[in-house]
Structure 1
Amino acid sequence: MTELVVIRHAETAWNAAKRIQGQQDIPLSQRGRLMATGWTVPQDLRRHRWLSSTLWRAKETAHLLGHPEATPLAALNEMHWGAWEGETLTDLRARHGAAMAENEARGLDFRPEGGESPRRLQMRLRPLLARLAETRQPSVAVAHRGVIRALYCLASGWDMTGRAPVEFDRESLHRFVLSGGGTLAILRLNERMRP
């Protein structure tokens, strides 16, 4: 069994405005930088290998947590929201009405216009999970909300339909364990990083 710990990047101006970032390379806001510098990473993670998405908000968060050496991997990038990046869900729901509701009801097969589905994101993550399981080196990944939700779905079997069984706290880390072939299981969710 190999531990995989996932941390969501700190806040950006687009997060505060509830705008969908997707793969837009938005930096942390000043508030986000202060947020990340206030987080305390548990001592047991100091010897883990550190990874991050290639997007600046994740790389900067890893740096502020004391890990500028974190390896950037495109597999950890946020779900691509295509033409909807920069929009808000409220505006999209108002503009697309019933079509948006039907799309959202598809769960893992929800697909933004010109973007990728959560299921496609999972497919992007699976080879990385298999490699991490094979190397057996505990790792911390600084990534994104969509990545955390996709991993949770792989571990729990939730298909993203209906209300989410768990809310992921922004200032928490989430512990998973990997077994043979990259099979994922939940160890502990929402472990707070603030004292």
Structure 2
Amino acid sequence: MIRLGLLRHGHTPWNRAGRIQGRSDIALDPDAAADLAKLRLPESFADADLWSSPLLRAAQTARIVAGRTAQTDPALIEMNWGTWEGLHGRDLRADPASGFRDIEQWGWDYTPPDGESPAALRARLVPWANGLTRDTLAVCHIGVMRVLLAHATGWNFDGPAPFAVKRNRIYIIELDGADWHMRPEPVRLEEAC
């Protein structure tokens, strides 16, 4: 069995403004970097293989909390939000003509205009995860985490998710071949010495 830990990147200016980032390469904001510098990986993941999305916000988060540079893989890049990238979700939600839906109403095939569906993310993420050979921590994005956790729990993006992705927590999936299970409780990052 291999443990795959998933950690969401720190805040960016776009996160704080409620803008959809997707594949836009936005760096951490100074407050997020300072807050992350006060944290470190728990001992249980200190020696795990370290991967991150190639996007700056994830690579920076990995470097800060792990104290080393992560390997990157394009499979871990965030979902492509197409023409909605850079826009505010609240504005799209308020416009009935936008086609915007809350995540609980997506299903696997919901696709933003010129973007990517959760099913397309799963098609690139599951082979990456199945290729892991030892315990691994992946610093990535909320969309990537939701897809991997949905795959592990059987959630179909239909109704409330059986998990809530929060920052500074490692969500653990146990991989045993095709058998995936999410541990019920995430592990918090620890205070740095």
Give the TM-score, by structure 2 length.
0.91
**1:150 equivalent in alignment to 2:147:** yes
Aligned to 1:83: 83
C-alpha deviation, 1:100, in angstroms: 2.8
Q: Please say if residues 103 and 111 of structure 1, whose CA atoms lie closer than 8 Å, have aligned partners that are also in contact.
A: no
For 2:105 and 2:188, how far apart are their aligned partners in 1?
A: 31
Aligned to 1:187: 183
C-alpha deviation, 1:130, in angstroms: 1.5
**1:6 equivalent in alignment to 2:3:** no
Q: How does 1:149-168 map to 2 (within 5 A)?
A: 149-168=146-165
Aligned to 1:126: 126
The CA deviation string for residues 31-71 of structure 1, in whole angstroms up to 9 with x for no partner, is 11022112231112111110000000000001111343310
Q: Please say if residues 103 and 110 of structure 1, whose CA atoms lie closer than 8 Å, have aligned partners that are also in contact.
A: no
Q: Which runs of 5+ in 2 are unaligned?
A: none
Aligned to 2:168: 171
**1:53 equivalent in alignment to 2:49:** no
For 2:27 and 2:19, how far apart are their aligned partners in 1?
A: 14
Higher helix share: 1
C-alpha deviation, 1:166, in angstroms: 2.2
C-alpha deviation, 1:194, in angstroms: 4.6
Q: Please say if residues 5 and 137 of structure 2, whose CA atoms lie closer than 8 Å, have aligned partners that are also in contact.
A: yes
SS in 2 for 1:108: coil
One-letter code of the match for 2:174? Answer: V
One-letter code of the match for 2:50? Answer: W
One-letter code of the match for 1:179? Answer: D
For 2:31 and 2:105, how far apart are their aligned partners in 1?
A: 34
C-alpha deviation, 1:169, in angstroms: 1.5
CA separation of 1:43 and 1:110: change in aligned 2, threshold 3 A: same
Moved more, 92-101 or 17-26: 92-101
For 1:39 and 1:103, how far apart are their aligned partners in 2?
A: 30
SS in 1 for 2:95: helix
C-alpha deviation, 1:176, in angstroms: 1.0
For 1:142 and 1:103, how far apart are their aligned partners in 2?
A: 21
Percent same amino acid at aligned positions? 36
Q: Please say if residues 41 and 66 of structure 2, whose CA atoms lie closer than 8 Å, have aligned partners that are also in contact.
A: no
One-letter code of the match for 2:78? Answer: E
Aligned to 2:110: 110
